[in-house]
Structures are given as structure tokens and as C-alpha cells.
Chain A
Amino acid sequence: MDRRNFLKIFGSGVATAATGNLLNPAKTNASEDNQATEFYGILVDTTRCIGCRRCEKACAEANGLPVPDIDELTNKSVLEKMRRTSDTQYTIINRYDTEKGPIYVPKRCMHCNQPGCAAACLVKAMRKRPSGHVTWDANCIGCRLCMVSCPFDIPKFEYTKAMPRIQKCNLCYDRYKKGGIPACVEVCPTQVLVFGTRRQILEEGKRRIAADPDKYVNHIYGEYEVGGTSHLYLSSVPFEQIGFRKDLGTVPYPEYSTGFLFAVPFIFVLWPIAMLGINRATKKDDESGHGENHENKEHEKGKH
């Protein structure tokens, strides 16, 4: 056992003792996670979506959220304005009027390979599971750093509740653990959504683009964006036309801060040593004579 591990265990032991295992709920259900060897994800083919909003309904039913009305009449008025995910809506469909007619785009958590929200979380309430799901746990302290750090504006806070939670799509983690597929994927009438391992759906996305280069733009959104995401999007128009940000770059969000955080102790330790060294090097010999005697003696020894 090295010192790092020792400190870790010691620290968590103290924390567990102090808080009654509140800060570390991960231990309880970590066993299923370890079976997964690959990230799962969803391929979203926006050329197929017809904007029926059945996924919104199924999502609400599966996650115990208020079930939206998806009658045609409501659909018409709802789709007229741009919506964002909210504390009662994990997934929403927006309509974008483009050169190729209206295009419906389902929007939900992208489940980044290296999520900014998980890196920002102070208590590991937001976590990336080995199966690719980015989930939220109840040990959250409500700092809402995850909301700030998300490049896709996904996590939402329940401002109206006494015991507020962070609400966002968890790729139906509970259903996954029981061997199921996400509710939206199951209910989609046009198979816009394909659930599989990231490798599998990436392959399928590439196959579709290759088989119909006229139909799709040659880009899979989420393949490299912010270091890759578990939701992959296909589109027939450039992605900026259907509300995707093209300025995110391919650097995973946590990497922006890990570099900085790595440098902080580095500078704190090295800076005084460097300064001290310069001080020593530039000090005049006779000036050092005014200092402590033993230092002066050492100096003289060095001369011999």
C-alpha cells in the first residue's frame, strides 16, 4: 500500500465515520458498473425525426416527471418556440426551419466521454459511469457548478423545491442496469434513436453517411466534440443550422482545468525554491558575513 492509497482510504474512512456514508454512495452500487467495458450511447439521426414528441412522453413516464400532452394541437404550438431542457423535461424536441425544410432535433444530455459537469462536481454527485452514463446522485450539495461547466446547457436545478435536485437525462441508467434500453429509444416510431455501444453506433453512423453522401453532411456531431460524446448526431444540413455549437473544439472540458490545477502546486513549491536560489546566488560574499556564523563557515569550507 503506498501513501496515496493509504491517505485516500484513511480520508474516506474519516468522512464515512463523520457523515454516515452520505458522501460516498458510490460504493453501494458500483458492482454492476464494473461489468461494462465500453461506453454506451445513442445515435440520433435527425433526418428521420418527425417531431411526434413520443420520446418526451416516454421519458417523463419512465422518470416520474409530469407527462406532457403530445396531442397534435399542443405539438404545433409547442414546436413553434425554441425550448431548453428543464427540471421537468430531460429531453425535448426543437424544430429548425432550414433550407431542407423543417428538421426536428431531439436534445438531451450528450453524456460526454469526459464530462465537464463530473469534473466540476465537488462531491462526485455527478459521475461518469463505466457504461458511459453520466448520472447524478443525491449527495449533491447544490453548488450548481455542473450547470456552469456544461457546454450544452443541460443540467437543470429545481429552484422551486425545498429539497432541490439537479435534473438531467441519465440515459435511463436504472433501466440499463436491469438490461433494458432507454425509454425514448424504445418508443421512437421512426427509429431516429439507435442504442448501442459507442463503437457500434459510430460505425453505423459512418455507414449511413457513406451509403448516402448526398443526404448527410459528412460529420458526426459528438465524435470529436469536447473529446467525444455518447450521443452522436447525424444531420442533412450543417450542424450550426440546427442549434449545435461549432465552437466547442475537440478538447475535453476537464482538460482545461486539469492543466491549471496541476500547475498550481507546482508553482507554489517551485517558486520559493527558485527565488531562494537566486537570492543565494546573487548575495555578495561580505554581506553573507553579517548573517549567521555557521553559514559563513560553510561558505568557507566550500572554498577549500
Chain B
Amino acid sequence: MNRKLIYFLVSIAYLILIAIGLYGVYTVEATLHVKETPVAEPQNKISIAHTEIFGKLERPQVIFDHGKHVEAMKAEGCAACHPVKKDNVISFDFPKKVKGKSKTDAMNAFHDECIECHKKQSSENKKSGPVTCADCHNKKNDKIKIKYPIAEFDFSYHDKHVRKLKEKIGKDDCGQCHHFYSLEEKKLVYKEGTEESCYYCHDLNKKRGPELTAITKVSAEKGLTIKNASHQQCLNCHLKYQKQGDKETGPTECIKCHTGKYKTVEELSKVSRPDRKQKDRIFISVENSKMKGVPFDHKNHEMTSKTCRSCHHETLKACKECHTLTGKPEGNGINLANAYHQVFSEHSCTGCHNKNKQTKECAGCHYAIPVMDVDSLNPKKDTCNTCHSGQKEKYSAAPIPMSSVEKVKKEIEIKVLENEYEPSKFPHLEVIKKLVKISNDNKMATYFHRNAKTLCEGCHHRSNISAEAQQDTPPNCKNCHMVAYDRKNPNKTRLLSAYHRQCVGCHDQMQIKKGSSFNFEEGDRCGACHKKKVGGPAEIITMKNDRVVKQNTTNIINVWHPE
């Protein structure tokens, strides 16, 4: 009996071993294929698919034709579907009331309100909507994705509203739209000169500082996300004037605001900015600061951005109120120096200037210059001094005179690929003149490129002028870049590569057709610099693998051969 049991146990153990082995061998990860549904034209339709409430949907989403319903319910008005709060303010929410908090309650609320109304309409012999499941939850809807582009209330709309409202009311009253929530009085108040952006309190997706968090908490409780708040604010006002028979009032249709078209900074440069009694010029200097003060032209910078928020990201207060010299919790621990100089931030001076340097005209030189404080730990003294002048008066920037560059070499011959091609002729002077012109045409460049030597550094990079004996002439490429491939240090750029990357890189960045790697026209690509050598190495035509093959006997010179 004992032996039987051992037999049995051992064989079971073997079976388990086999099962585990098979399981380990044959379970291979499966790959997922997710198909994206393309975004359809909105056409005043709304997709009802509250995945934030329901999670994964049991039935296909509902595509709700809002335009059709507005047309049908014209007599009843918006209040037929949307709840009315106190002071006759319509909240553009749906459904009107949800009894509980569970999924079923939310689902029932939707179903009750839609189907009830449809039933009522048909009992009154009016044109009505569907009452059965699949008529709304149509399978076809799964292939539709509707997304409205964000409506941008830019400075031109702001300016228009300020002017029109002044005509209608007879005075400047920013309190029509602007308000803030007083935590002590627990209600909305308005004080002139403290207007701020809607996003500060109503954008609930962003983490805010301690003071604003208390306010956004209230917004969240009331369900006033930026979407709900702006619909409520804009549409109620538009509807009010519509009811009064005012023809010039703003739109109430979805696609009229959510156009998906946005104005550029250039288009907005003629529009005046909101007046909040801000100073045109500010001298930024902080007590106990190590650095000298910076004269800052606020008005100029207003014109170069689309919103106040692009710099004043949290409130419209001055930077130094939250970002102190040593940092404090209100400023997220970011100290003043970093607030101004953070390289990749969109709100800092350096970050925004870096972004500007990526434009076509500037990128030719600046793409190769490492951004401050990542690679160049020790920026030159002049670089700091450009802003930190310590003078209250702004430096009046003058364009670089053309006469100052006339002395440079007119043309330079490059012979690295001499065996194959004629020497390349680099129009040195012509290039510099073009760079001077670009610099002079740009306001920011004119301010920062104080003299012609700054422009030289675009190509003659990483030289340290103060350590050089000949301070007037920048170094040659050959002085640093070796001809041979350094196997011990393969990352070092050799001469051949230095030329190609510098020239082609700049042409690519500036989208200059000649000599760019993006260009495919014959003669303009490589031929822009390299002319085939007459009497160069002969091309032998041979037969190889049953096909005619051009055998070129060139030896690429100037590279290190191991043999």
C-alpha cells in the first residue's frame, strides 16, 4: 500500500512538473493592436460617452445632435434641458438632476430625461426623437469620434468685448466677467485692478499653489471646470442680449466659437492689450540680490505673447512675490534665479528666448549652440551682462553696421575632398552679410547681438576669446578638428564631418534650398558645393554579376587607413 502511494505521488509530481514546463514555454506575450478612430467634423453634434463615470461602455456611445435640438426647442429655450440656478443663470449641464452617485443613477438620469421628453413630444403629436435603445446607441457611432477644438478667447476678442460692453453699459465694467472668490466671505467679489485669467481658478487639471488650491476646490465642488464656467459665463450673457433683440451679440452655436482657427502673435500685434494699469517698463531688481538689476520692457513683451498666462502662469502678480531669492512653498520651491533662467520652462525668460531661437532664421546658428546652463556651465561675462546691466534705462539697441564686416575674407576654398571634387568655394563675406541682415531685422536679435563678433561665434564656436593671443581673428576649423578618425575618442568630430555638419546643418535649419539635405534637385544638393573634378579618377565600367557596374577607383583621402 505504501509503495502505491509513493508511485502515485511521484507521478503526480512529474505531471505538475510537465504542466509548469509547458506553461512556461508556451505562454508568450501577445501584442495589442489598437485602432484609432479618426476625428469627425463636429457640426454642432456632441458625443455622449462619459467614460469618466461609466468606465468601459456597455453600449455604443450616443451622438447627440445639439443643433437639431436647439432648433426644435426654440420656444422652450435652453432651460428645457439645462438646469437653471439662482438669478436665472443657466448652467449648461445635462442631465438636470442626478439622484444618486452610482453609475446606474447617472444612466437613469440620462435615459429618463431624454426618453421622457421624446415620449411627451410624440404624445403631443409633435416631431420627436427615438425611445428605443439602439436608435440612440447605434453601433455606427463607435466609428465616430467628435472632439471640439478649444475656443481661444484671444486679445482681439477681449478688446472687442471691452469696447462693445462700454458702448452698451456706458462705462468700463470689467466685473461683468472678471471676479474672484473670496474665501472669507464665501462668495464672488470683484475689485477693480485685480482682474485675472479664468484659468487660474477654473482649470482644475493643473496643480496650483496653496491659496489657489483652496479656491479651485470650491470650483470643483460646484462643478465649474473651465469648460462649464466659460459656457455659463459666455452663453448666459450672449443669450441675455439675444433675448433683448440685440443682433450684434455673440454666438450661441457650438461651432461658432469652437472654430479650431487661432490667431497668430503677428495678427494680434495690432490689437491693444488688456489695461490693468500695468507699467510699460520695469526695472527688475531684488533686494540682496547678487546680480545687477535688469531693465525690462513689459509692453514689448506683451506684444510678443498671446496670453498673459504665458509668463504669469499662476497669478498676475509679479514673479518675485512667489519666487523669492531662496524659494518658498508658494513658488513651488523654485527660487528667483531659476524662475527667470529655467531653460525648458515656458514661463521663464531664458526658456521663452530659447524657443524663439528655434525659428527658421535663428536656428541656423543657434541649433548648434548649447542652451545655457545645461552644457555651458560657465556662461561668458558678456552673456550675463546683456540683461543684467544694472542700468535703469533700457539699452537702446542699434543695428550692426554693414561696414564693420567688410574686412573679412571674401571667399574660402575648402579642399578636404580634393581627390574627388574641385575645391568648394565658401562665400564667406556674403554669408556674414546675410546674417547681419537677419540679425538687424529681428528685434530680439538686434538687442542681443551687440556687435559683429557675436555673429562670428555662430560658426567659429566654443572659442574662448579672452584666452586667445590673436583676439581679432577667430580660430580656423582645422585648429580643433582633426583630419583623422580618432579611434580612441570616436565621438570627436573630425574635419570632414565638421564641415558637413556645420554647413548642411545650418542650411537645413534655415531651410535654404541649396546644399540642404532636404532638397532633391540635381545640382543643388551636393553640387551646390562640390563640382566633379575634370580629369579626376577615371570611372571604369566593368561587368559584375551580369550587370554593368561603374567602378570608381577613388581612394578617399585624408582618412586613416589601418593597413
Contacts and interface: CB of A to CB of B under 8 A. Distances in A.
Contact of B550 (A69, A72, A75, A175): A69
A281 B4 contact: yes
B28 A277 contact: no
B22 A190 contact: no
Interface stretch (A137-145, A146-154, A265-273): A265-273
B504 A274 contact: no
A281 B2 CA distance: 10
Given A88-B545, A101-B518, A302-B3, A191 B8 contact: no
B562 A179 contact: yes
Interface string A94-111: 000000011010000000
B561 A75 contact: no
Contacts of A72: 522-523, 525-527
Nearest to B354: A214
Contacts of B563: 178, 180
A76 B522 contact: yes
B493 interface: yes
Interface stretch (B155-163, B206-214, B396-404, B483-491): B483-491
Interface in A135-189: 160, 175, 178-181, 185-189
B556 to A, nearest CB: 5
A186 B523 contact: no
Contacts of A32: none
Contact of B487 (A178, A181, A213, A280): A181
A211 B10 CA distance: 61
B560 A270 contact: no
A266 B21 contact: yes
Contacts, number: 133
A200 interface: yes
B55 interface: no
B94 interface: no
B15 interface: yes
Interface string A42-68: 000000111110000110010000110
Contacts of A104: 517
Interface stretch (B115-123, B137-145, B453-461, B494-502): B494-502
A67 B549 contact: yes
Interface in B468-520: 485, 487, 490-491, 493-494, 496-497, 499-501, 504, 508, 517-518, 520
B24 interface: yes
A123 interface: no
Interface in B1-54: 1-5, 7-8, 10-11, 14-15, 17-18, 21-22, 24-25, 28-29, 31
A233 interface: no
B414 to A, nearest CB: 12
A69 B544 CA distance: 14
A254 interface: no
B272 interface: no
Given A67-B549, A259-B24, A266-B21, A277 B517 contact: no
Interface of A: 48-52, 57-58, 61, 66-67, 69, 72-73, 75-76, 79, 88, 101-102, 104, 160, 175, 178-181, 185-191, 194-196, 200-201, 204, 211, 213-214, 247, 249, 256, 259-260, 262-263, 266-267, 270-271, 273-278, 280-282, 299, 302-303
Given A66-B549, A185-B485, A303-B1, 20 more contacts: A49-B517, A51-B517, A67-B552, A73-B522, A101-B518, A160-B545, A181-B487, A189-B496, A191-B494, A191-B497, A214-B344, A260-B25, A263-B21, A263-B22, A273-B11, A274-B15, A277-B8, A277-B10, A281-B7, A281-B11
18 contacts: A66-B547, A67-B552, A72-B523, A72-B527, A76-B520, A160-B546, A181-B487, A188-B497, A189-B497, A194-B490, A249-B29, A256-B28, A262-B25, A266-B21, A267-B21, A278-B7, A280-B11, A281-B8
